[in-house]
Chain A
Amino acid sequence: MAERCAVIGVGQTHHKAKRDDVSIAGMVREAAKMALADADLTWSDIDAVVIGKAPDMFEGNMMPELYLAPALGAVGKPMIRVHTAGSVGGSTALVAAHLVKSGRHKRVLTVAYEKQSDSDAMWALSVPQPFAAPLLAGAGGYFAPVIRAYMRRAGAPDHIGRMVAVKDRLNALRNPYAHLHLPDIDMAMVEESIMLWEPLRYLESCPSSDGAAAMVLAAEDAISGSNPPAWIHGTAMRSEPTIFAGRDQVNPRAGRECAADVYAQAGITNPREQFDCAEVYVPFSWYEPMWLENLGFCEQGDGWKLTESGATAFDGDIPWNCSGGVLSSNPIGASGMLRFLEVAMQVRGQAGEHQVDGAKLALGQAYGGGAQFFSMWVVGSEKP
């Protein structure tokens, strides 16, 4: 039967447009060492390493776990490399959790990263393939039409996206690790920013960041460190095909079913009331209202009303992305893990300026591909 598993250490880099002061190895070590220190452990205490990142072409380094093994203290240990597109940071943490839950290992280090400045992610996403329909301009070009479909379906007014863009950037001002710190951010500033993929403006889109995230996960009898553990109350992954007849791209079934699975494990029947906060993968502003509906925080069509009411703001009743979210820091492969890591920080009470008072139970979510791969976990301050 499954063992209890908890997060006992977290670490992340200061996310930036360009980390030209470190190599890829130096960057991942920065996050990993911080997580080890948090757990009061050293490299030799770790049984296995699970690493994740988005496509290898983002840095031009194939199967980078091979190169990074010594930098992450993995020599002589099992090491696994996960890749599930944008959800990879989340699913990497889940694979690590399973290594503990299965009784296989006591302490597992999990790391995710992207060093986007080492190559060109836009190019890697739009690399010409002779038989595939061209993606026509990166991830934004893919998701903007879906956002338009949501706006039409929900009857959502234009300003909702701008509200999310402002809210998450205000939150980022509380997070020293966030890439974007825009003290003057307001609705007008978002509206004046260049239209990239209409209806998406520049400031409604995520930045391109270098950064890494790391966590130490441990079995119940291997808890260490002076910070309290974040107990894992549920884990789930779901996938569906990219394209198929009748696919609901706005509100994908895989996301709804993934949420239902993780909620059942964690005993969640009313996510808006039971969670104290959530970190959800919102790379484009409009994905907040869309995921509010997908994750069951409100009825279908009401996501934008929840955002508009301020419920998801830092001082709202269900704050989303208190860290500033993907809109403020986007080291792609690490972005999903940052969601999982941030909710662990919240229930451990170590989120500093962006701490939600008394947070006890929180949801971390990541998605990837054509909004078709989902990974989620629920963490809590109490033992499940």
Chain B
Amino acid sequence: MTDATTAGADVGPVTTLATPISLDFDFTPGVAQSRFLKALATGTFVGQRCPVCTKVYVPSRGTCPTDGVATTEEVVLSNSGTVTTFCVVNVPFAGQSIEIPYICAQILLDGANVSFMGLIQEIPTDQIRMGLRVEAVWVDDADLTPSLASIKYFRPNGETDAPYESYEEYL
């Protein structure tokens, strides 16, 4: 763009201008997510049920996405669930905190009607499969906080794989 030769220094055309941007934000989790996060601090998953369609959301953001109404009834969920589908992440990117390759799976907790994405460990990446039964591994009690960091990861819980038909509608 700009030719800097007039300045005497032969630096060539200016093609890049680095302008670092740093902004800080204070997030508000909201009423429903606060309940979910507080439950994480006790090593428990808590979902919320839609009063219209009766489906259980975890984590709920406070509304039922299909009915557009507040989810209010709390439902304590199992520590175990089923891997509905997954991928093995082998791509490095800025801010990554896990060593590649790692397994990123959709996990349907028992009692919930939506899956969420979680990290799977304690199984070789070539043995991960759809239908695998898994359980959450929590950090030590002293380290539990109202955050997703309380969940270390999920690992196989030793149960027989769930049949495809049992989770097909969640794909």
> Is A1 at the interface (CB under 8 A from chain B)?
no
> Is B99 at the interface (CB under 8 A from chain A)?
no
> Is B84 at the interface (CB under 8 A from chain A)?
yes
> Is A183 at the interface (CB under 8 A from chain B)?
no
The distance from the CB of B57 to the nearest CB of chain A, in whole angstroms, is 7
> Is B65 at the interface (CB under 8 A from chain A)?
yes
Partner of B130, one of A136, A138, A152: A152
> Is A126 at the interface (CB under 8 A from chain B)?
yes
Partner of B86, one of A127, A135, A148, A243: A148
Q: Which B3-51 residues sit within 8 Å CB-CB of chain A?
A: 15-16, 19, 21, 27, 29-30, 33, 37
CA distance A250 to B170 in the complex (A): 10
Partner of B94, one of A120, A194, A242: A120
Given contact pairs A141-B104, A148-B85, A60 touches B21 in the complex (Cβ within 8 A): yes
CA distance A262 to B64 in the complex (A): 29
> Is A369 at the interface (CB under 8 A from chain B)?
no
CA distance A271 to B8 in the complex (A): 64
Chain A residues near B70 (CB-CB < 8 A): none
CA distance A137 to B106 in the complex (A): 14
Chain B residues near A249 (CB-CB < 8 A): 171
Chain A interface: which of B74-82, B111-119, B135-143, B155-163?
Answer: B111-119
Partner of A243, one of B19, B94, B114, B148: B114
Partner of A153, one of B57, B104, B171: B171
Q: Could you tell me if A196 and B117 are in contact, using CB atoms closer than 8 angstroms?
A: no
> Is B109 at the interface (CB under 8 A from chain A)?
no
CA distance A212 to B59 in the complex (A): 38
Given contact pairs A20-B15, A123-B94, A146 touches B85 in the complex (Cβ within 8 A): yes
Label chain B's interface by main secondary structure.
loop
> Is A21 at the interface (CB under 8 A from chain B)?
yes
Shortest Cβ distance from A127 into B: residue? B95
Chain B proximity mask over A105-126: 1 for CB below 8 Å, otherwise 0: 0000000000000001011001
Partner of B116, one of A133, A147, A250: A133
Chain B proximity mask over A290-319: 1 for CB below 8 Å, otherwise 0: 000000000000000000000000000000
Partner of B93, one of A20, A126, A130, A244: A126
CA distance A23 to B84 in the complex (A): 44
Given contact pairs A126-B93, A194-B90, A197-B90, A20 touches B106 in the complex (Cβ within 8 A): no
Chain B proximity mask over A237-272: 1 for CB below 8 Å, otherwise 0: 000011111101110000000000000000000000
Chain A residues near B57 (CB-CB < 8 A): 245
Q: Could you tell me if B88 and A136 are in contact, using CB atoms closer than 8 angstroms?
A: no
> Is A128 at the interface (CB under 8 A from chain B)?
yes
Partner of A196, one of B21, B27, B90: B90
Interface size on A, residues (CB 8 A): 46
The distance from the CB of A158 to the nearest CB of chain B, in whole angstroms, is 14
Chain B residues near A141 (CB-CB < 8 A): 87, 89, 91, 104
Given contact pairs A137-B96, A148-B130, A198 touches B37 in the complex (Cβ within 8 A): no
Chain A residues near B90 (CB-CB < 8 A): 194-198
Q: Could you tell me if B37 and A123 are in contact, using CB atoms closer than 8 angstroms?
A: no
The distance from the CB of B162 to the nearest CB of chain A, in whole angstroms, is 13
Shortest Cβ distance from A243 into B: residue? B114
Chain B residues near A147 (CB-CB < 8 A): 87
Chain B residues near A189 (CB-CB < 8 A): none
The distance from the CB of A300 to the nearest CB of chain B, in whole angstroms, is 14
CA distance A198 to B86 in the complex (A): 9
CA distance A127 to B1 in the complex (A): 31
Q: Could you tell me if A137 and B66 are in contact, using CB atoms closer than 8 angstroms?
A: no
> Is B105 at the interface (CB under 8 A from chain A)?
yes
The distance from the CB of B114 to the nearest CB of chain A, in whole angstroms, is 5
Partner of A136, one of B30, B33, B89: B89
Q: Could you tell me if A131 and B85 are in contact, using CB atoms closer than 8 angstroms?
A: no
Chain B residues near A123 (CB-CB < 8 A): 93-95
22 intermolecular pairs with C-beta atoms under 8 Å apart: A20-B15, A60-B19, A123-B93, A126-B95, A130-B147, A131-B37, A133-B59, A133-B116, A134-B148, A137-B91, A137-B93, A145-B106, A146-B85, A146-B171, A194-B90, A197-B88, A197-B104, A199-B87, A242-B65, A244-B55, A246-B55, A249-B171
Interface residues of B (CB under 8 A from A): 1, 15-16, 19, 21, 27, 29-30, 33, 37, 53, 55-57, 59, 64-66, 84-91, 93-96, 98, 101, 104-106, 113-114, 116-119, 125, 130, 147-148, 164, 168-171
